[in-house]
Amino acid sequence: MLAYIVRRLLILIPTLLGVSIIVFMMLRMTPGDPAELLLGERATNEALVEVRERLGLNEPLHVQYGLFLKRLAQGDLGETIWTRQKVWTEIRERFPATIELAVVALGISCVVGIFLGIVSATRQYSIFDYLSMLGALIGVSMPIFWLGLVFMLIFSLGLGWLPISGRLSIGVSIETITNFYILDSLLTRNWVALRDVIWHIIMPAVTLSTIPTAIVARMTRSAMLEVLRQDYIKTAKAKGLSNFKVVYKHALRNALIPVVTTIGLQFGVLLCGAILTETIFAWPGVGKWMYDAVMKRDYMVIQGGTLFIASLFIFINLAVDVLYAVINPRISVR
Amino acid sequence: MARKLGVLLVVLALVWAVPVLAADTPKSGGTIVFGRGGDSVGLDPAYETDGNSFMVCDNVFEALVAYQDESTALEPGLAESWDISPDGLTYTFHLRKGVKFHDGTPFNADAVVFSIGRMMKERKVKFMDPKLTIPAQERTPEYWVSMEMDSTVDSIEAVDPHTVVFRLKRVEAPFLANLGMDFADIISPTAFSKDPKAFVRNPVGTGPFKFVEWVTDDRIVLEKFADYWDKRGGPYLDKVVFRAIPENSVRFLELKTGNIHICQFPNPADIDLARKDPNLKLTEQPGMNIGYLSFNHTKPLWQNADMRRAIAHAINTKAIVDNIYQGMGQVAKNPIPPTMWGYNESVPGFAHDPELAKQYLAKAGYPEGKGLPEITLWSMPVPRPYNPEGLKVGVAMVSDLKKVGINARIVSYDWGTYLKRQREQPEDMDLFQLGWTGDNGDPDNFLAVLFDGLASDSVRTQWKNEKYHELMLKGKQTIDQNQRAAIYKEALQLIYDECPVISIAHSTVIWPALNNVQNFKLHPTSSVRMKNVWLK
């Protein structure tokens, strides 16, 4: 197992190298000059020359890439073009917000999605099955942007239950240790802040969870249907086991493999930042940050951010593979 | 009993009267939340270039001179007064006494030399304190460069603790107005020297509010500075919070629910809603900007003034402003806003007159557009402060041109490429849309920067006119404002006569706010000043 993990981690290096080359080249091929965007209408020719010089944009591409790699080897992602902060500092400031939102959204998706999937599979072609699968279809196809605004109109403006946007109310303070607000408020036993943080995360998390919930529900349903047809399920039933035990102990465990894969992939997607959800709910995460960077051609942010996300993806995939072995002892990782 | 009743009545009357009396007297306390579209980039005024950064700096820092509340007329800031030598080359500033920075450092001549001197390429500076040095500059001070300050300022010298002398290399009338801009804000030398890299996230100035906290992409919190020097008015608010809420409609919802007090840049449709909402009010200010259409003056076709006039009369600017600016703009007849001194009221502007356009077209040798190849009309891909939708404006113009027999097609690129290619004046560019937001309220900042192609090849409209160039030079080198106004009026008349540019619109800024926000005024430079704002 350990050897397997180490081997997988070693693959990280060539993968990231590949990612960095692709991102680097794609960025330079995309039209749009960061210096022009930085200076806007007021740019003078002299100022442009100076900015390009400072950003090293006048160097030939291979020299620029070499410099980037050299810094990367020292663990330095460089400085952003716009804010002139360290890229790593900017990632550290924003990632906790994204991860927190993604974890809560994924939690909702797992619980709701798996539950819906099981129930529809066990009552195939029932009204519940139709309803939940219709719900799943709507969930996948609902424009997040619209859904978020509708939630706001109902739950904030109409009922006044939940705050509209942001991570924390003005006037509530939190001592940031990890920048994960839920964790921080628990660590400092700040219950006022904890309540406020949870209140703020509900709406964006539910909005963000609609698509993964629908995907998980459909995947669970089809996997369960397949497993439920197997002989050993018949055997288990014939043994006189309760329906609950058959479904949750025998069937679910075997059906979970494709579901876990799906969940892992969805988590990766959520971590890249939910651009729309973050934008609507003014959630200070990484999705909005990367999006803005693309618009402003902040090469450094896009390069650093992509590399970071790529490595996260690899870690999540690894975790999923390891989970297989835990869920199903017949699979062993070597 | 009657007496008791009488006492009660008096008490009631007083209870009723006190709030009425107090209604217009500023009240201290409270937190104001300003909702805006994005976070600040940095808070070191010398190096920032964006409005979201400057609006925070406006409250933390001050400059030697200041713009008045709703105009760019100058008033004393950290300098109580100033003298200009008769040759216009030496400026002596007499500094305010008893002013402190937020970190307790006294404000003095050295702080001025330090703050401005750090931006100079060749630092010809002299401090009172011989031990004071300026750390090496790590970035380009974009505004210092774009306002050409290195070719203006020769040296800065602290002659006594409260007097600073600037010596200039050339006579530059807008110099004083430049010193009112954010980049010329005075910073605490102690705070900066302690950690020059960290200053951009921990600003220390002399302004009415001091910096407290910055939660990236979420909020910046400022707090009342108790030792603020100017005791005549505010700060009244305990705290000012700038909150980033990227989505316009969500920001407006936050305003409607009372979670924020002022909503920057709402959707035009929401302005009508705000107008009808009894809890909201609108603050309005004509923006100091111009959206224009100009020509590729390097092509012979557009060196013919009749061709330019044909286009000018063909385009229906009023329809564009009515339909696309949606009431948030006014038709422009001069390329500088009407609130600016030097504005030429007597210029008639180009009336929408397709018949006249056809006549000019015929005069230029293309009757009914015959023989004229298809022309390109470059349109901006992104909303800008002076033009909400460049592409829609482009479409409207193309159809206007069609009506007089001119075939035009829209060309657009991503914003960076657009700016870059426009600068190169390529053969495939005939007409282009662009615009400008003023920096310092000086007409030179529009007229020379935008249209004097003989001054520099950085000028976006490479229009080269000897007479205009001379007027621009004269405008820079004349100190007296009345004389300058006359010069710029003449230049505006020349622009009308020669038609190197078609002025389209000046956009209006309208921001809704909660009713209890008092004394909030929009500034033409888009700066956001919270000093005299209070909450009812």
Residue of B nearest to A34 (CA): B416
**The pLDDT of residue B3:** 56
Q: How far apart are CA B69 and CA B247, in angstroms?
A: 29
Encoding tokens for residue B448? 């020379």
Instruction: Give yes or no for B218 touching A (CB within 8 A).
Output: yes
* Residues B359 and B286 sit within 8 Å (Cβ to Cβ): no
Do residues A324 and A257 lie in contact, with contact meaning Cβ atoms separated by under 8 Å? yes
A 194-253 residues inside an 8 A Cβ radius of B:
none
- Which chain B residue has its CA at the smallest distance from A51's CA? B140
- Residue B21: its pLDDT value, please? 46
DSSP secondary structure letter of residue B262: E
Residues of B in contact with A84 (CB under 8 A): 42, 47, 139, 200
Q: Which of A38, A85, A163 comes nearest B49 by C-beta?
A: A38
Give pLDDT < 70 ranges for chain B: 1-23
Between chain A and chain B, the number of residue pairs with CB atoms below 8 A apart is 132
Q: Do B416 and A297 touch (CB under 8 A)?
A: yes
Beta carbons of A45 and B423 less than 8 Å apart: yes
Can you tell me whether residue B290 is helix, strand or coil? strand
Helix (H, G, I), strand (E, B) or coil at A60: coil
Q: Is A15 helix (H, G, I), strand (E, B) or coil?
A: helix
Contact at CB, B41 and A47, closer than 8 angstroms: no
Residues of B in contact with A37 (CB under 8 A): 415-416, 419
Q: How far is A104 from chain B (nearest CA, A)?
A: 20
Q: How far is Cα A232 from Cα A244, in angstroms, rounded to an integer? A: 15
Concatenated DSSP letters of B334-403: SSS-TTSTT--TT-------HHHHHHHHHHTT-GGGTTPPPEEEE--SS-BTTBS-HHHHHHHHHHHHHH
pLDDT at B18: 47
Residues of A in contact with B435 (CB under 8 A): 41
**Interface list for A 128-167 with B (CB within 8 A):** 149, 152-153, 156-157, 160, 163-167
Q: Are A175 and A184 in contact (CB under 8 A)?
A: yes
Q: Helix crossing, A127-141 with A191-228: angle to 10°?
A: 120
SS3 of residue B153 by DSSP:
strand
Inter-chain residue contact A31 with B416, CB threshold 8 Å: yes
- CB of B269 less than 8 A from some CB of A: no
The C-alpha angle B510, B513, B519, rounded to 5 degrees, equals 95
Would you say how long chain A is, in residues? 334
Which amino acid belongs to residue B15?
V
Residues of A in contact with B415 (CB under 8 A): 32, 36-37
The string of pLDDT tens digits covering residues A104-131 is 999 999 999 999 998 888 888 888 888 8
CA distance B60 to B530: 10
ipTM: 0.86
The per-residue pLDDT for A327 is: 75
In single-letter form, the type of residue at position B174 comes to P
Calpha distance A65→A19 (Å, rounded)? 13
User: Largest alpha-carbon pair distance within chain B?
Assistant: 100
- For residue range A148-207, what is the model confidence (pLDDT) as tens digits? 999 999 999 889 899 999 999 988 888 888 889 999 999 999 999 999 999 999 999 999
Distance from CA of A311 to the nearest CA of B (A): 24
Residue (of B117, B104, B98) closest to B166 by Cα position:
B117
**What are the chain B neighbours of A180 within 8 Å (beta carbons)?**
none
Q: Which residues contact B179 (CB under 8 A, 6 or more apart)?
A: B63, B64, B65
**Distance in Å from the first CA to the final CA of chain A:** 6
Cα–Cα distance list, B12 to A37, A211, B215 (Å): 63, 61, 47
Residue type (1 letter), B460: R
CB pair distance less than 8 Å for A82 and B41: yes
The CA-based angle A274-B200-B46, given to 5 degrees, is 115
**Do B250 and A31 make contact, defined as CB atoms within 8 angstroms?**
no
- Left, alpha or beta for B31 (phi > 0: left; psi -120 to 50: alpha)? beta
Q: Do A47 and B146 touch (CB under 8 A)?
A: yes
Strand partners, B224: B209
Q: How far is B247 from chain A (nearest CA, A)?
A: 6
Mutation target among A101, A146, A164 for the B interface, most CBs of B within 10 A = A164
User: How many other CB atoms are there within 10 angstroms of residue B386's CB atom?
Assistant: 27
Burial A159-169 (b: 16+ CB within 10 A, else e): eeebbbbbbbe
Half-sphere exposure (Cβ direction) of A269: Cα atoms closer than 13 Å? 15
Per-residue H/E/C for B440-507: CCCCHHHHHHHHCCCCCCCCCCCCCCHHHHHHHHHHHHCCCHHHHHHHHHHHHHHHHHHCCEEEEEEE
Contact flag A170-B219 (C-beta cutoff 8 Å) = yes
A83 touches chain B (CB under 8 A): yes
Tokens standing for A60?
A: 């030939």
Q: Which of B53, B216, B433 to mutate to test the interface with A (most CBs of A within 10 A)?
A: B216
Residue B46 CB contacts under 8 Å (≥ 6 apart), including other chains: B115, B118, B119, B141, B143, B144, B183, B185, B187
Distance from CA of B313 to the nearest CA of A (A): 26
Query: Per-residue pLDDT for A42 more than 90?
Result: no
CB B492 within 8 A of CB B336: yes
CB B128 within 8 A of CB B157: no
Q: Tell me the shortest Cα–Cα distance from B215 to chain A, in angstroms.
A: 9
- Contact (CB, 8 A) for B387 and B332: no
Q: Is A300 on the interface with B (CB under 8 A)?
A: no
CB < 8 Å to B31, chain A: 170-171
Phi, psi of B248 (to 5 degrees): -60, -45
A34–B416: do the CB atoms touch at under 8 Å? yes
With bands split at pLDDT 50, 70 and 90, how would you rate the model's confidence at A273? low
**CB-based contacts of B274: which residues, under 8 Å, 6+ apart?**
B252, B255, B266, B280, B282, B512
Residue to test with chain A: of B215, B251, B418, most A Cβ within 10 A: B215
CA A25, CA A61: separation in Å to the nearest integer?
9
Q: CA of A331 to nearest chain B CA: how many angstroms apart?
A: 44
Rounded distance between C-alpha atoms, residue A197 and residue A162, angstroms: 11
> Are residues B105 and B98 in contact, defined by beta-carbon separation less than 8 angstroms?
no
Interface subset of B 478-507, CB within 8 angstroms of A: none
pLDDT tier, A321 (very low <50, low <70, confident <90, very high otherwise): confident
Chain A touched by B151 (CB under 8 Å)? no
For an interface test with B, the pick among A152, A165, A184 (most B C-beta atoms closer than 10 Å) comes out as: A165
Pairwise CA distance, residues B266 & B384, whole Å:
14
- Output the pLDDT for position A332: 66
Indicate yes or no: CB of B416 within 8 angstroms of CB of A36. yes
pLDDT at A330 over 80: no
> Considering only CA atoms, which of B505, B338, B355 is closest in space to residue B434?
B505
* Per-residue pLDDT at B524: 87
Tell me which chain B residues have a C-beta less than 8 angstroms from the C-beta of A33: 416-417, 419-420
DSSP A233: H
Question: What are the two backbone dihedrals, phi and then psi, of residue B348, each rounded to the nearest 5 degrees?
Answer: -75, -25
Q: Which of B140, B216, B435 sits opposite A54 (nearest CB)?
A: B140
Alpha helices, DSSP H, located in B152-267:
175-178, 189-194, 248-256
pLDDT at B336: 94
C-alpha B364/C-alpha A253 separation (Å) is 83
Copy the structure tokens of residue B93.
Answer: 């500033």
Which ranges of A86-180 does DSSP label H, i.e. alpha helix?
A: 87-122, 127-141, 144-151
Distance separating the N- and C-terminal Cα atoms of chain B: 37
Cβ proximity of A217 and A113 under 8 Å: yes
Which residues of B fall within a CB distance of 8 Å from A279? 246-247
Nearest CA in chain B to A38: B49
Q: Which residue of B has its CA nearest to A171?
A: B31
**Mean of pLDDT over chain A:** 86
**Among B215, B253, B416, beta carbon nearest to A32:** B416
**Cα gap B45→A129, rounded to integer Å:** 61
Distance from CA of B128 to the nearest CA of A (A): 32
Distance from CA of B233 to the nearest CA of A (A): 26
Chain A, nearest residue to B146 by Cα: A44
Give the nearest chain A residue to B461 (CA atoms): A41
Q: In this structure, which long-range contacts are made by residues B397-402, counting pairs with CB atoms below 8 Å and at least 24 apart in sequence?
A: B397/B293, B397/B315, B397/B320, B397/B431, B400/B314, B400/B315, B400/B316, B401/B311, B401/B314, B401/B315, B401/B375, B401/B377
Which value, in Å, is the radius of gyration of the alpha carbons in chain A? Answer: 24
* CB spacing of A170 vs B146 below 8 angstroms: no
Residue B75 corresponds to which tokens in the numbers above?
């008033």
pTM (predicted TM-score) = 0.87
Which of these, B479, B196, A252, lies nearest to B487 by C-alpha position?
B479
Decide if B233 contacts B532 (C-beta within 8 A). Answer: yes
Q: How far apart are CA A139 and CA B263, in angstroms?
A: 32
Query: Which residues are B437's β-sheet partners?
Result: B289
- CA pair distance A148, B222, nearest whole angstrom: 31
Which residues on B lie below 8 Å from A149 (Cβ)? 249-250
Chain A nearest CA to B78, separation (Å):
28
d(CA A76, CA B378): 41
Contacts for A152 with CB less than 8 Å, ≥ 6 apart: A164, A165, A203, B250, B253
